[in-house]
Amino acid sequence: MTYQSGRQFLQIPGPTNIPERVLRAIAAPVLDHRGPEFARLASEVLARIKPIFKTTRPVLIFPASGTGAWESALVNTLSSGDKVLGFDSGQFALLWTSMARKLGLEVQTLATDWRRAPDPAVIEAALAEDRDKKIKAVMLVHNETANGCMSRVAEIRQAMDRVGHPALLMVDTISSLGCADFRMDEWGVDVAIGGSQKGMMLPTGLAFCGVSEKAVAASKNAKLPRSYWDWEAFLGGNFPYTPACNLFFGLKEALNLIDAEGLENIFARHARHAEATRRAIRGWGLDVVCAEPKDYSQSITAAFMPEGHSADAFRKLVLERFNMPLGGGLGRLTDKAFRIGHLGDTNDLMLGGALFGVEMGLAAAKIPHRAGGVQEAISYLAEQSGQPARMAAA
Ligand code: PLP
């Protein structure tokens, strides 16, 4: 057996660090999922998750990873041959379009250079061209975890409204939920898709679907085959198969922590950490992958490796020497970029440790860079007001 002393720094863009209190809550004895105690727990968390999505609509919870919620959104609202608008704007947006094709949907894809989020004006033009209103849904990823670009959902909704397009707006919040502002009702989002293992500070295993009235109406006529993902029983307040009960205990505790810190304070913390990370990256003389300041992600930041240097070899060295996994480049960014996750249960010192590890790794791997990125982050974090204290009731 080998032993690496000290804690591993988990700085990937999810799954994220789980607070001790959440881990302890999950470690409760298993209960009868058909008994009164689970019914009380479920009704509490189903009510308390709504403010995280900023919705008054039902949020359905499946035992699944986030990919299940993607599928659930599509199969409940669409029929074979329906046209959808998707994006080649990053690996996750692209994977979702590939799922849509496998399910028998016709996908129109709008591409970016993977260094910015989809442009609301381009979406508006595509929808304006769709005079016969053949496009039934827009499949938008709020925070593209693969490149650190965040979509401006409110502007996209306004663009859809300007051209009076009736398509459903589906938004993947898997790496933004609990990290960045998301307003399902105000932004007219029809299906809001989430997962437990990132900003929600839980293990993987809960997939969320917030559903608008319009999405529920669409589900009455949608013809794609569906069984496991069918919304009907969930909308009736039932769990048609065994729910992930212990994760519900964890979710309740995570919601306690979120309430104690305050959702808006959490967003401010994520924004501060994202800015500190970008300053560090520029301090090292590297480029941030997201090229558009208005598209900067609050939860993850990707950095390009200098030409001729392997990002994956760098990540391997950082893992082996310093016990810190970093996110790899995905899809067309494979080996070209690495990603720093700064989402979920993090604080200034944890981020500082991660940036220290990256700077040490750049030196150890003899990657051309300037020293001092960490100092840039320290100066920025020090001049910002402190993080509000977390005061969850015991
Ligand atoms: N969408 C986004 C934006 C993601 O970041 C991920 C995973 O990281 C997924 C979808 C897929 O979710 P999961 O791996 O939970 O199935």
Model confidence pLDDT, tens digit, residues 91-104: 999 999 999 999 99
In angstroms, rounded to a whole number, what is the distance separating the alpha carbons of residues 338 and 198?
18
Global pTM reads 0.97
Per-residue pLDDT at 124 exceeds 60: yes
List CB contacts of 298: < 8 A, sequence separation 6 or more: 143, 150, 176, 179, 180, 267, 270, 271, 273, 274, 343
Residue 224 phi, psi dihedral angles, 5° rounding = -60, 140
Question: What mean pLDDT value characterizes the chain?
Answer: 96
Q: Which tokens is 203 given?
A: 């293990």
Q: What percent of the chain has pLDDT over 70?
A: 97
> Is the pLDDT at 392 greater than 70, yes or no?
no
Q: What is the band of 389 on the pLDDT scale with cuts at 50, 70, 90?
A: very low
Cβ(329)–Cβ(302) under 8 Å?
A: yes
Q: Name the token pair of 2.
A: 């080998």
pLDDT band at 20 (very low <50, low <70, confident <90, very high): very high
Average pLDDT over residues 18-30: 97
Residue 85 has pLDDT above 70, yes or no: yes
User: Which structure tokens are listed for 74?
Assistant: 């599509």
- The yes-or-no verdict on residue 157 having pLDDT over 50 is yes
**Alpha helix positions (H), the chain:** 20-26, 36-48, 50-53, 66-77, 91-102, 120-129, 153-162, 213-221, 231-235, 245-261, 263-283, 311-322, 348-364, 373-383
Q: Does residue 54 carry a pLDDT above 90?
A: yes
Place of tokens 């250079």: 113
Confidence check: pLDDT of 260 > 80? yes
Rounded Cα–Cα distance for residues 22 and 285 (Å): 38
Ligand 1 neighbourhood includes 141 CB (under 6 angstroms): yes
- 172 CB near ligand 1 (under 6 Å): yes
pLDDT of residue 1: 81
Name the residue of 98, 114, 145, 171 to mutate for ligand 1: max ligand atoms within 8 A of Cβ. Answer: 145
Give yes or no for residue 190 having a pLDDT over 70. yes
pLDDT at 386 over 80: no
What does the pLDDT read at residue 226?
98
User: What's the CA-to-centroid distance between 251 and ligand 1, angstroms?
Assistant: 18
Best residue for ligand 1 mutational test, from 62, 95, 141, 175 (most atoms within 8 Å of Cβ): 175
Predicted confidence at residue 97, as pLDDT, reads 98
Helix axis angle for 263-283 and 245-261, nearest 10°, is: 80
**Spacing, Cα 92 to ligand 1 middle (Å):** 7
Q: In what order do the strands lie in the sheet with 205-211?
A: 59-64, 205-211, 191-195, 168-172, 135-141, 83-88, 106-111
pLDDT at residue 385 is higher than 90: no
Q: What percent of the chain has pLDDT over 90?
A: 96
Distance CA 278, CA 300 (A): 10
Q: Are 340 and 277 in contact (CB under 8 A)?
A: yes
Tell me the CA distances in angstroms from 304 to 147, 186, 267, 284, 343, one per residue in order: 10, 35, 25, 11, 20
Q: Which helix (H) or strand (E) holds 84?
A: strand 83-88
**Atom 12 (ligand 1): residue with closest C-alpha?**
66
Looking from the CA of residue 176, the nearest atom of ligand 1 is 3
Backbone angles phi, psi at 186, to 5 degrees: -60, -35
- Best probe residue, ligand 1, of 12, 16, 62, 67 (max atoms within 8 Å of C-beta): 67
2 — pLDDT class (breaks 50, 70, 90): confident
The amino acid occupying position 237 is G
- Read off the pLDDT of residues 321-367 as tens digits, 9 standing for 90 and up: 999 999 999 999 999 999 999 999 999 999 999 999 999 999 999 99
Q: Output the residue whose Cα is nearest ligand 1's atom 13.
A: 66
Residue nearest to atom 5 of ligand 1 (CA): 145
Torsion angle defined by CA atoms of residues 367, 373, 375 and 378, in that order, rounded to the nearest 10 degrees: -130
